[in-house]
Chains A and B, each alone.
Chain A
Amino acid sequence: MDQPLTTAAAPELKPADQRLAVASQWRLMWWSFRRHRLAMLGGIIVLFLYLVAAVPGFFAMNEPGRQNARAVFHPPQALHWIDTAEDGSWRFRPHVQAMRMVRDPVTLAPSFRPDGTRKIYLTFFARGYEHNLVGLVPSTTHLLGPENPRDQVYLLGADRLGRCVYSRMMVAAQTSLLIGLAGVFLSLVIGLLLGGISGYYGGRIDFFVQRVIEFVLSLPTIPIWLALAAALPQNWPPERIYLTITVILSLVGWAQLARVVRGRFLSLRTEDFVTAARLDGVSEKRIIFRHMLPSFASHIIASVTLAIPAMILAETALSFLGLGLQPPVISWGVLLREAQNIRSIATAPWLFAPGGAVVLAVLALNFLGDGLRDAADPYQK
């Protein structure tokens, strides 16, 4: 208070403050989100993962379902970027060390040895097996592949049937990430409906819906999911099982979202700016869509982002236990089934790789969701 109070004009705003004063709410949120470094990183990883999910075949190297008896439990081949020639010169040329299968003379157990100094050179946008981009456009181009199409490269090793773990992981990303999205979308529809009704009507309906939500939240999800999934007939086609599993996941997952929706609805109804708009004679429709929805949607987006990892984890758990998705559909959970018994992971620890993908996706989505939640309320310091 070292300045005397005057009735003079308001102090000149600095350019930065001026920008702040006229920025829209979404712009403020973007600014606030950008400050959250981990969330930015998470966002970039999530974008990348969904890019993989959109065109998994492009990122894959070998045909995911193809078995190779000569590559059973083939170990991962480290990718080298710089090729050093014998005279010491080097250049940028990605390659891997070629491997050869040798059989133990007594037990006949196969094992893999580096094949002398032979290198398999890789090239970008290589030709390979045919796949569909976004499920529509047929293509034979792959991000990375051996220069000689007859060479087999296993970046993350092969499983007990000699199938490429890396390629399967890429293709599985599509299933796992999409089931997360679809499950959350369904949950959101149920949650918006019930939460909205509960928050809008209040009173007895609210009380009833509240009890239902509390009840669903108090159930142990995995046993319920297991029981629901066990009820699916074994002879259903995989696509139908896929759809049903999505529905099953959201049947239990909606309660959390419904609670968030209801809470936001109730607290927004009594906000000053809503009252002000109402007093100004703004129509109910305009209040909802112009005034309530912007501050509402951001919170919902944040909660949805935080709900996706839970869905992914649930699908992984179900498929891992053998009650979720069934082969030939592959998801990260289905792939982790290969790592189920201690003997196979003791010989082939690279079968854990899909687990790494799950952890990465869940972490990235959590960071992103956390940042979105902080940014959702840009006026709060």
Chain B
Amino acid sequence: MAGFILRRVLWMIPSLLAVSFLAFFLIQLPPGDYVTTYVATLAASNEIVDQRTAAELRDRFGLNQPFIVQYWLWISGILLRGDFGLSFEWQQPVSGLIWERMGLTLLLTTSTLLLTWAIALPIGVLSAVRQYSFADYVFTFIAFLGLAIPSFLLALVLMYVAVVYLGQDVSGLFSEAYQTAPWSLAKVQDLLAHLWVPVTILAVNGTAGLIRVMRANMLDELHRPYVVTARAKGLSEFRLLLKYPVRLAINPLVSTIGWMLPQLISGATIVAVVMSLPIAGPLLLQALMAQDMYLAGAFLLLMCTLTLVGMLLSDILLALIDPRIRFD
């Protein structure tokens, strides 16, 4: 087991390296650099920046070094000093801007993951056990609908319903009073009171897919001889289900945590823009638009790292509950 985990963790190193290259490549991609944008913004408000000042700015930010040197400066700063560089737009270190938002992103995605499982597992089992029943058809239909509705559209519709029919604003994660307040118990309560709306919206998409997978897995297991044996022994139907087929059907599902995380982060990014949630997505979008490269890079890097770590955890979890995997 330890060997498996060690091998798996070692595999993370090339992936992380690739991710960091990718993130840096992506933020280098736009033509021009931050100084170009900066000069253009100033020019729009009738301030002229002469060539020398622009060159000095480039020098100061190291923008005229070759790609690989800039990459090295960037990644070594992150690894050795936890320094993600300077946000040009905010004129402050990136590390001061990202951690709270990344923390909230993590909170949002993990709560969504938990809710998704809590809804999808029982429904999946029910749909399989009562295959072709009325409930099965209803849930199958809802599941397909959930797959087809883009989460941002769902968020928009929900916000519309809340504003027009309930007279409530469901956007954001905090009430106005707590937006800039330091963390306190009251603020956490406020967060929880707001969190459930985006969590529910995001869970709809994931749940739909998961119900289908769980249903299919259960259907594969339900007609196995060991189920018949257990039933013949006189085990109650409920205990029988939980004790054998569910435990087996859940294995392939654990591996889906890995690929659900990238989807969740993707979905959360766009829902957050619609609902103006203070998580990574909206600030990433803003940074990308303003070519605030180090800020965008930090978010890209951390978001990708988050999904890679999720993959790692789901692999390890799978190996823990399914001994066949370990000895591959």
Q: Which residues of A contact B (CB under 8 A)?
A: 211, 215, 217-224, 226-228, 230-231, 233, 309, 313, 316-317, 320-321, 323, 336, 339-340, 342, 345-346, 349, 352, 355, 358-359, 362-363, 366-367
Q: Does B138 contact A (CB under 8 A)?
A: no
Count of chain B residues with a beta carbon within 8 Å of a chain A beta carbon: 52
Given contacts A313-B150, A340-B274, A358-B153, contact A223 B144 (CB under 8 A): no
Report Cα–Cα, A309/B261, bound state, in Å. Answer: 20
- Hey, which chain B residues are within 8 Å of A219, CB to CB? 19, 22, 262, 304, 307
Q: B148–A231 contact, CB under 8 A? A: no
Q: How far is the CA of A215 from the CA of B119 in the complex (A)?
A: 29
Evaluate contact between B266 and A222: CB separation under 8 angstroms: yes
List, in ascending order, chain B residues with CB within 8 A of A349's CB.
160, 164
A-B contact pairs, 21 of them (CB 8 A): A215-B18, A218-B262, A219-B307, A223-B281, A223-B304, A224-B26, A224-B300, A227-B288, A230-B291, A231-B31, A317-B150, A321-B270, A321-B273, A321-B285, A339-B156, A340-B156, A342-B159, A342-B169, A355-B150, A358-B150, A366-B147
The answer on a CB contact under 8 Å between B148 and A366 is yes
For the complex with contacts A221-B263, A223-B281, A316-B150, 16 further pairs of A-B residues with Cβ separation under 8 Å are A211-B14, A218-B258, A218-B304, A220-B262, A222-B267, A223-B284, A233-B31, A309-B148, A317-B150, A317-B152, A320-B270, A323-B289, A342-B163, A355-B153, A363-B148, A366-B147
Is A223 a contact partner of B266 (Cβ separation < 8 A)? yes
Q: Shortest CB–CB separation between residue B16 and chain A, in angstroms?
A: 10
Q: Which B residues lie within 8 Å of A215 (CB)? A: 15, 18
B42 is an interface residue with CB less than 8 A from chain A: no
Are A362 and B148 in contact, with the CB atoms below 8 A?
yes
Mask: chain B, 211-237; 1 = CB below 8 Å from A; 0 = not: 000000000000000000000000000
Complex Cα spacing A56 to B262, Å: 36
Q: Known: A217-B262, A230-B288. Contact between A223 and B299, CB under 8 A?
A: yes
Say whether B265 faces chain A, with CB atoms less than 8 Å apart: yes
Shortest Cβ distance from A188 into chain B, in angstroms?
20
A-B contact count (CB 8 A): 124
A226 vs B291: C-alpha distance when bound (angstroms): 12
Instruction: Tell me if A220 and B289 are in contact (CB < 8 A).
Output: no
Q: Provided the pairs A227-B288, A355-B150 are in contact, do residues A346 and B26 lie with their beta carbons within 8 angstroms?
A: no
Q: Are B288 and A221 in contact (CB under 8 A)?
A: no
Q: Which residues between 246 and 299 of chain B lie within 8 Å of chain A, taking CB atoms? A: 258-259, 261-263, 265-267, 269-270, 273-274, 281, 284-285, 288-289, 291, 296, 299
Shortest beta-carbon contacts, A-B, top 7: A222-B266, A231-B29, A230-B288, A220-B265, A227-B26, A362-B148, A363-B148
> B263: which A residues are within 8 A, CB to CB?
220-221
Contact: B160 with A346, CB < 8 Å?
yes
Q: Specify which of A227, A313, A340 lies most central, judged by the most chain B CB atoms within 10 Å of its CB.
A: A227
Cα–Cα, bound, A222→B267 (Å): 8
Q: Is B202 an interface residue (CB 8 A)?
A: no
Per the 8 Å Cβ criterion, residues 152-187 of B in contact with A are 152-153, 156-157, 159-160, 163-164, 169, 171
CA distance A248 to B259 in the complex (A): 20
A352 vs B267: C-alpha distance in the bound complex, in angstroms? 19
For the complex, give the distance between the alpha carbons of A352 and B274 in Å.
Answer: 14
Distance from A142 Cβ to chain B, minimum over Cβ atoms (Å): 29
* A317 lies within 8 A of B160 (CB): no
- Which residues in A have their C-beta under 8 angstroms from that of B153? 336, 352, 355, 358-359
Select B303's contact among A220, A345, A367, beta carbons within 8 Å. A220
Contact between A231 and B26 (Cβ–Cβ < 8 Å)?
A: yes
- The answer to whether B29 touches A317, judged by C-beta atoms less than 8 angstroms apart, is no
Q: Whole-angstrom distance between the alpha carbons of A20 and B77 in the complex?
A: 69
Chain A's nearest CB lies how many Å from the CB of B8? 12
